Amino acid sequence: MAKISAAEVGKLRKTTGAGMMDCKKALVEAEGDFDQAIEILRKKGQKVAAKRADRDSSEGVVVANINEGNTRGILLSLNCETDFVAKNDTYVELANKIAAVAHNCNSKEEVLASKFDDSMTVEEKLIEQTGVIGEKIEIGGFEAFEAPFVGGYVHGNKIGALTGLSTSSDHAAEVAKSVSMQVASMGATTLSYKDFDAEYVQAETASRIAAIEKDNIERGRLGKNLLNIPLFISRSQLTDEALATAKATYEAELKAEGKPEAIWDRIIPGKLERFVADNTSLDKEQALLDQDFIMDDKQTVAKFVESKGADVVGFKRVSIA
């Protein structure tokens, strides 16, 4: 039997991240052949990965990697089975190393096929580490994004976002980070209400109205105040005709209340503003620029970005499910 030194065990441990005893056993089995020992540990990882393939990998970490010129960024989640593993510094370091390798990739498949180091691909590294850690490890989400300026934000290693701006400027980093925080927190699905498909808006309107009407039946039975049933749910539905009709309705109400016509111009704008707010719930939930800004809910994200002389061209988001 080959004599295995502590230095050899330490070198294999540093290379693979495996435990001291696993490294020693692999070196003994390989009769001191370093490369063969790595292969033995890799095969152990394959066996563990096969056994745990059906396991739920709902924990993990999200990391971001943005190039020096701030023109390209990637997000990825490295998923595992338990929060205990996800919180390990070595695991977070592994995720960041993979993100650095993946900075020019455009898909999860490209990431897996990329060289992690001279001896293995990212996919092979994940298999190896599955054997080391004893849990299913996989890349869960991956997004790549390019723009004249790209900035990002990762919250608690669980949610990450990238924001692209049309130009770089003195405020670009601040704007991109702030908007990325918005994306991470509020989970927008599109940039503007203008991006919504008309059929989707129509179907969503009918669904939401039906849900409120059903809820109101129960509220009425319990003697509770009924919820307002909106006419619309998106600014895309608020045509000039719809706004003119709303304005005429408010004028009629003010006239019936005996309010002097001379003060209507001071009252109606506020009522129309409330009308728009009450009838754009879809925009507030899903359209980034139309959402209330989390750092100042008196303005929308669009108003904040405009105040900084910037223009958002897109965004990406990855989270641990």
- Domain ranges in the chain are 6-51, 59-187, 194-293
Average pLDDT, the chain: 90
Instruction: Decide: 235 and 283 in contact? Cβ < 8 Å.
Output: yes
Asked if the model's pLDDT at residue 48 lies above 70, the reply is no
Which residues does 154 contact at the CB level (< 8 Å), separation at least 6? 62, 63, 64, 160, 161, 184
> For the segment 223-281, what is each residue's pLDDT rounded down to a tens digit?
999 998 888 999 999 999 999 999 999 999 999 999 999 999 999 999 999 999 999 99
Give the pLDDT score at 198.
Answer: 94
Give the residue, 314 or 12, on which the prediction is more confident. 314
Closest by CA position to 70, among listed 160, 154, 176, 143 = 176
Domain spanning 6-51: which superfamily?
Ubiquitin-associated (UBA) domain (1.10.8.10)
CA distance 92 to 100: 12
> For the segment 63-72, what is each residue's pLDDT rounded down to a tens digit?
999 999 999 9
How many CB atoms neighbour CB 259 within 10 A? 13
Asked if the model's pLDDT at residue 49 lies above 60, the reply is no
CA distance 133 to 81: 10
Domain spanning 59-187: which superfamily?
Elongation factor Ts, dimerisation domain (3.30.479.20)
> For the segment 97-122, what is each residue's pLDDT rounded down to a tens digit?
999 999 999 999 999 999 998 878 99
Give the pLDDT score at 214.
Answer: 94
| CA geometry: angle 30, 31, 33, nearest 5 deg | 65
Asked if the model's pLDDT at residue 90 lies above 60, the reply is yes
Of the candidate ranges 35-44, 68-77, 116-125, the one whose mean pLDDT is the lowest: 35-44
